[in-house]
Amino acid sequence: MVGTRKAATVHRGLDPDRIVDSALAVADADGLGAVTIRRLAQQHDVTPMALYRHFRDKEELLDAVADRLLGEIALPEPDGRPWHEQMRDLLAAFLAALRPHPNVAQLTLDRILTSVPGLMLAERTLTLLDIAGYAPDQAARIGRQVLCALVGMVSNEPGAGQHGDPEERDDALHAERATLAALPPRRFPRVAAAAEALTTTDRQDDYYRLGLDLAVAGLRGVAPRS
Amino acid sequence: MVGTRKAATVHRGLDPDRIVDSALAVADADGLGAVTIRRLAQQHDVTPMALYRHFRDKEELLDAVADRLLGEIALPEPDGRPWHEQMRDLLAAFLAALRPHPNVAQLTLDRILTSVPGLMLAERTLTLLDIAGYAPDQAARIGRQVLCALVGMVSNEPGAGQHGDPEERDDALHAERATLAALPPRRFPRVAAAAEALTTTDRQDDYYRLGLDLAVAGLRGVAPRS
DNA sequence: ACCTGAACACCGTTCAAGT
DNA sequence: ACCTGAACACCGTTCAAGT
């Protein structure tokens, strides 16, 4: 009642943040391909064109989704530990932000250098690589590779077939496992033996821990100063 | 004239291989999003529905495109050298097959375990990781990560914005470089300094050599036996 | 066997109006 | 300022025919 002018002009539910919420929910449930201007509009009981008041086009909407993910990165404070320990924590923070939304992770790659939180991640990465002894050019290239590898890790984590029902997804994984296990053991003995490991969604923490080990070990192995 | 029955029923130009050719050409020129049933049909002077004689749906067409790339892998023969040297050559062979088609590379990831050339790559990778001392489960996980990282490397190579004209692409890269260089040097000194390295398409061989170094060094660093 | 034609249920997006 | 409605140029795909 004693509403200020600002309160009087409050949106009834169609502001960019809530659209991004919906986009994330749709992508998590049905994949990035299901994120559609028309579908989001429908979820907000509004005409598709209403969204264009808030985003110039679909790409700008996806930018906002990526920004949301990048904004969730909880950057660890720099400290006095060896660079590779700090690097591990930094990369782990990036992973932690991406993991809840594997279907959306790939969007962040193109936006790392165009959003503030992404730039902060990049700056920290380059700083640690400098401490490791990398020349600036090398650091730029190798930093890109590592962040790229992490995003790929999340986008392609064993369960990420981006289907609808969790039941259907389990069935698909089970079928794939059976196909692999039935491979001719003369030609593909190791793939057949690894059928279980390649198709399980269990022990995801192991998967990610190993991925971090791999990335950090790579950086240490190539670094001028170890 | 003395045509066999087979020669008499030869296609006049609409066989799956030529459709895949077109799909690759379109993807290379205008990105994966431009690969459209209708556009491919048009290129072959045929109705969109004609393609459904050869592919059950669009996904099967993309499977064929991915198979084409995977089929280009020239697997090196196993020999007596240390596992990491053989691994490097194996990964380099995969990279060499992907590099000509960065816009398409990502398609291969989901198809590695469903195509014969992909399975051969996977089998070789697991074999070398076994020699390195990895337990089968670990080998499966880490092998996936590495192949994933390589695909990501190609998909996200500096020039890969998947635009049309090469001129337009250069302009986009130049603009991005300027934006990065103009970043507040107080907050993002290293990113600003790396603007050039992050946006150049020169020295791609360095980029890929470094990526291979990173991957192999990671595998060696994590391996039970080095 | 291979291709066509018309139709359906979707897209993103522009333009001109409405309040 | 914010939303609507109709329209346009695209999608993938089904179905029933044509030869």
Binning pLDDT at 50, 70 and 90, where does residue A13 land?
A: low
Establish whether domains A2-55 and A70-158+202-222 are of one fold. no
How far is the C-alpha of B24 from the C-alpha of B26, rounded, in Å? 5
pLDDT > 70 fraction of chain A, expressed in percent and rounded: 93
How far is the C-alpha of A108 from the C-alpha of A117, rounded, in Å? 11
Quick check: B208 and B150 in contact, CB under 8 A? no
Nearest CA in chain A to B136: A194
Q: Averaged over A10-24, what is the pLDDT?
A: 83
Task: State the nucleotide closest to A34 in CA–C1' terms.
Answer: C11
Q: Where are the domains of chain A?
A: 2-55, 70-158+202-222, 166-198
pLDDT tens sequence for chain B (226 residues): 333 333 323 345 689 999 999 999 999 999 999 999 999 999 999 999 999 999 999 999 999 999 999 999 999 999 999 999 999 999 999 999 999 999 999 999 999 999 999 999 999 999 999 999 999 999 999 999 999 999 999 999 887 776 777 788 888 899 999 999 999 999 999 999 999 999 998 889 999 999 999 999 999 999 997 7
**What pLDDT is stored for residue A8 in this prediction?**
30
> How far off is chain A from B11, nearest CA to CA, in Å?
33
B42 and A CB contact within 8 Å: no
- The two three-digit tokens of residue A205, written as one number: 């923490």
**What pLDDT is stored for residue B159 in this prediction?**
78
Closest by CA position to A32, among listed A139, A149, A161, A134:
A161
**What pLDDT is stored for residue B12 in this prediction?**
55
Classify domain B70-158+202-222 at the CATH superfamily level. Answer: Tetracycline Repressor, domain 2 (1.10.357.10)
B178 and A CB contact within 8 Å: no
Quick check: B20 and B68 in contact, CB under 8 A? yes
**What pLDDT is stored for residue B5 in this prediction?**
31
CB atoms within 10 A of CB A178: 11
Classify domain A2-55 at the CATH superfamily level. Answer: Homeodomain-like (1.10.10.60)
CB proximity A12–strand D (7 Å threshold): yes
Binning pLDDT at 50, 70 and 90, where does residue A225 land?
A: confident
- The two three-digit tokens of residue B158, written as one number: 């500096």
Nearest to A197 among B141, B183, B220 (CB): B141
Which of A108, A147, A210, A220 to probe the B interface (max B CBs under 10 A)?
A210
Nearest to A144 among B122, B188, B198 (CB): B198
pLDDT digit string (tens) for A138-191?
Answer: 999 999 999 999 999 999 988 777 677 778 788 889 999 999 999 999 999 999
Closest by CA position to A212, among listed B94, B226, B221, B190:
B221
Looking at every residue in chain A, the average pLDDT score rounds to: 92
> How long is the CA B12 to C1' C12 vector, in angstroms?
36
Nearest to B221 among A140, A176, A218 (CB): A218
